[in-house]
Amino acid sequence: MAQHLALGAQGEELAARYLSEAGMQILARNWRCRFGELDVIAREGEVTAFIEVKTRRNLTCGPPEEAVTYLKQRRIRELAARWLREQDGSYQRIRFDVIAVLLRPGHAPDIRHLKAVF
């Protein structure tokens, strides 16, 4: 379990760095409430993106983004609505992204940003 959590944390760190280097402003990381957690919340221009990060070491179980099931998407939408209610300011344009991180031993990290995928 500890290895799994460390892998996820490493993927989220790489994703946040990738987003920052792409010019996005990180608003929150690992935002939590009693109903769950949002991995990354970022701004790109006028758009607020709620970003789920999925990290894997190999493709045995398929690509990382396939782990973002319909139920997971629904939970992320609900959490995003809670986050938005807590904020001051205008957040009229939102989207839901996935960042898929593949960390294969001996290879450079493969990071794919899938925008507005659900």
Sheet holding 93-102, edge to edge: 25-33, 36-44, 47-56, 93-102, 110-114
pLDDT in tens, 12-59: 999 999 999 999 999 999 999 999 999 999 999 999 999 999 999 999
Q: Which domain holds residue 90?
A: 2-114
Give me the pLDDT at residue 45, please. Answer: 95
pTM of the shown model: 0.92
Query: Residue 114: phi, psi to the nearest 5?
Result: -100, 110
Look at the block and give the residue holding tokens 């990382």.
64
CATH of the domain at 29: 3.40.1350.10
Give me the pLDDT at residue 76, please. Answer: 98
Number of domains composing the chain: 1
* Dihedral angle computed from the Cα positions of residues 32, 33, 37 and 41, in that order, rounded to the nearest 10 degrees: -60
